[in-house]
Amino acid sequence: MAAPKKQQKKKVRINKNLRCQLCIEGISEVSYKDTYRISKFLSRRGKIIPRIRTGTCARHQNQIANAVKNARYMALLPYTNNI
Ligand SMILES: [Zn+2]
């Protein structure tokens, strides 16, 4: 019996030159009602994209995470998105 092949992990390219887009735009508070802005930080599946991939700062990432969770509860954003 042959040993199972090791699954290769997909390498995610990380751009270290990314800057926090919300800091550049000068947004101090992220609202759950602003679904257009929040949806840019969600994957196609509806998951929150980690800040290493979007370049968001810790303060804004925290605000985004809370806004997404509020928006999901208010049925403005989906919990999951089946493709
Ligand atoms: Zn920021």
Q: Which contacts of 74-80 are long-range, i.e. CB under 8 A and separated by 24 or more positions?
A: 74/32, 76/32, 76/33, 76/35, 77/35, 77/38, 77/39, 77/42, 77/46, 78/46, 79/46, 80/45, 80/46
Q: What is the per-residue pLDDT for 1? A: 60
- Delimit the domains of the chain by residue range: 29-73
Percent of the chain at pLDDT above 90? Answer: 75
What average pLDDT does the segment 56-60 reach?
A: 95
How many angstroms does the Cα of residue 21 sit away from the middle of ligand 1? 7
Identify whether the C-beta of residue 61 lies closer than 8 Å to the C-beta of residue 68: no
For ligand 1, the distance from its centroid to the CA atom of residue 51, given in whole angstroms, is 10
CATH architecture of 29-73: Irregular (4.10)
Task: Provide φ and ψ at 48, rounded to 5°.
Answer: -75, 130
Spacing, Cα 45 to ligand 1 middle (Å)? 24
| Alpha carbon 78 to its chain's center | 13
Q: Distance, CA 27 to ligand 1 centroid (Å)?
A: 8
Q: How far is the CA of 41 from the centre of ligand 1 (A)?
A: 13
pTM of the model: 0.79
